[in-house]
């Protein structure tokens, strides 16, 4: 066990021991048993604390060892709980046996034969019941926590895989764009050397944009429209009046985003699969509709088309599939072909929300955790000094009316709840939930 865990276990043992002592003392009072506050009572306090500390540390070390040998997960959790509870009970019974041996033989001075002759199974009943209850509760809570951790790990793996896939898809853009551009340049060199020179200059500018944007997940629609106009100028150098474009100046929502180079790929796709001649000019229109950016062209397929690798359109579909549940819509009629790519806006607000959580909530929750720890230790120290002092005053002044029980029980219960809040298994569920939300926003959040 780590040093921090040892300190936490020791404090928890003190709280449990005192709580059990108070509960059993109250039960004796209710049952009519006289409670005498003398040296035997002080001795019983020591015995309760000895039992709680030793048994808590034994079970703590056992569970630490057990958790390293058998991890939580989907594989046979019932057997995991059963073995954990059974092992905890066995460890506790062995611990109780040696504690009783130490008390009877070591502290009280009786012989070993006396200890053996006077051992009774009833002496182990309380320990058995308490241990069974605590271990079952521990495993139920721990099982839930570990399942949540496993889910988070699975989501991280999924997110990492998706990120790798997304990077691979983005890396396809570079060679794909260069390959098609060189084909255009080759044609221009043969047809119009002067235009080829201008094309080379413009191509360097366009390629700079490709290098700048290819590693981004998303770019604004305005950036993509601006690049599309530049790319259209390159196409016009080759096809001149054989191709007509209608591209808006600005997007209706300046914060709307699309995957980078999506328009360039769709424009390439339109030119590649259709005849582009002065007699049959290709008309390409880009416009917004129902939250999508639509690229539409008149359909005039080439008589002979080389088999397409499908990199362009499939690349866009796969990148959108990773980022959002909104699909790329493809429509085709006898006269037109269009592709609608979603314009995404949701993660702008999510990014702000995640940043706000990281900057504000992390500090505030850490500060609150520190305040809770300070309050608990202050209350514990005060309790250990004040209650014995009140007991002494009550015992020496008016023992017929044992009023010290009221502050002892009330304060003790509050202290127990405070300890559970700080160190208990449910003490960090809010922190865990916030980490889940932040992780989900960062890794697996979908755009809309």
Ordered per-residue pLDDT tens for the chain, 448 residues: 566 667 777 787 777 777 777 777 776 676 667 777 777 778 878 887 888 788 878 877 887 777 776 655 555 666 777 777 788 888 888 888 888 888 888 888 888 888 888 888 777 776 677 667 666 666 666 666 666 676 666 666 555 555 555 555 555 555 655 676 777 777 777 777 777 777 787 778 777 877 787 678 889 999 999 989 888 887 887 778 899 999 999 999 999 999 888 898 899 889 888 898 999 999 999 999 999 999 999 999 887 655 555 567 888 888 888 788 899 999 999 899 999 999 998 654 444 344 444 444 555 566 666 677 667 777 777 777 677 777 777 777 766 767 667 777 777 777 777 777 666 554 455 555 555 555 555 554 555 6
Picking from 239, 308, 241, 229, the residue whose alpha carbon sits closest to that of residue 272 is 308
CA distances from 194 to 190, 233, 241, 243, 417 (A): 10, 15, 17, 20, 84
> Distance between CA 306 and CA 412 in Å, rounded?
83
CA distance linking residue 415 with residue 11, whole number of Å? 12
Provide CATH code, domain 163-344: 3.30.565.10
Q: What is the pTM of this model?
A: 0.45
Locate the domains of the chain by residue range. 1-119, 163-344, 349-448
Report the C-alpha gap between 400 and 201 in whole angstroms: 104
- What tokens were used for 266? 């769709």
Considering only CA atoms, give the Rg of the chain.
37
* Burial tier of 293 (Cβ tally within 10 Å: 0-12, 13-18, 19+): buried
């Amino acid at each position: 066990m780590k040093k921090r865990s040892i300190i936490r276990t020791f404090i928890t043992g003190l709280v449990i021991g005192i709580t059990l002592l108070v509960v059993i003392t109250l039960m004796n009072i209710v049952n009519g048993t006289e409670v005498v506050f003398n040296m035997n009572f002080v001795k019983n306090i020591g015995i309760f604390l000895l039992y709680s500390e030793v048994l808590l540390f034994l079970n703590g070390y056992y569970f630490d060892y057990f958790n390293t040998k058998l991890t939580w997960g989907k594989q046979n959790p019932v057997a995991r709980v059963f073995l954990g509870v059974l092992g905890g009970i066995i460890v506790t019974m062995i611990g109780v046996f040696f504690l009783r041996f130490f008390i009877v033989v070591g502290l009280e001075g009786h012989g070993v034969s006396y200890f053996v002759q006077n051992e009774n199974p009833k002496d182990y009943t309380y320990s058995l019941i308490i241990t069974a209850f605590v271990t079952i509760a521990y495993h139920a809570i721990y099982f839930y926590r570990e399942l949540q951790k496993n889910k988070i790990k699975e989501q991280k793996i999924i997110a990492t895989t998706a990120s790798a896939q997304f990077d691979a898809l983005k890396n396809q853009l570079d060679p794909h764009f260069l390959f098609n551009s060189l084909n255009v340049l080759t044609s221009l060199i043969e047809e119009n050397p002067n235009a080829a020179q201008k094309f080379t200059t413009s191509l360097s500018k366009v390629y700079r944009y490709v290098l700048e944007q290819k590693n981004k997940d998303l770019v604004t629609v305005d950036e993509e429209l601006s690049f599309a106009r530049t790319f259209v100028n390159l196409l016009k150098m080759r096809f001149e009046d054989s191709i007509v474009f209608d591209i808006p100046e600005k997007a209706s929502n300046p914060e709307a985003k699309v995957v980078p180079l999506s328009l360039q790929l769709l424009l390439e796709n339109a030119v590649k699969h259709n005849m582009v001649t002065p007699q049959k000019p290709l008309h390409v229109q880009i416009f917004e509709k129902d939250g999508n950016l639509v690229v539409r062209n008149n359909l005039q397929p080439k008589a002979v088309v080389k088999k397409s690798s499908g990199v362009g359109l499939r690349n866009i579909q796969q990148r959108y599939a990773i980022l959002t549940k909104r699909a790329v819509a493809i429509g085709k009629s006898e006269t037109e072909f269009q592709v609608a790519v979603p314009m995404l806006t949701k993660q702008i607000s999510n990014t702000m929300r995640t940043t706000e959580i990281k900057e504000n909530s992390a500090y505030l929750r850490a500060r609150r955790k520190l305040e809770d720890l300070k309050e608990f230790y202050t209350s514990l120290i005060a309790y250990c000094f004040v209650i014995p002092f009140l007991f002494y005053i009550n015992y020496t002044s008016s023992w017929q009316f044992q009023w010290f029980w009221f502050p002892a029980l009330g304060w003790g219960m509050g202290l127990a709840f405070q300890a559970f809040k700080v160190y208990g298994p449910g003490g960090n569920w809010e922190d865990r939930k916030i980490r889940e939300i932040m992780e989900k926003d960062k890794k697996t959040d979908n755009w809309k």
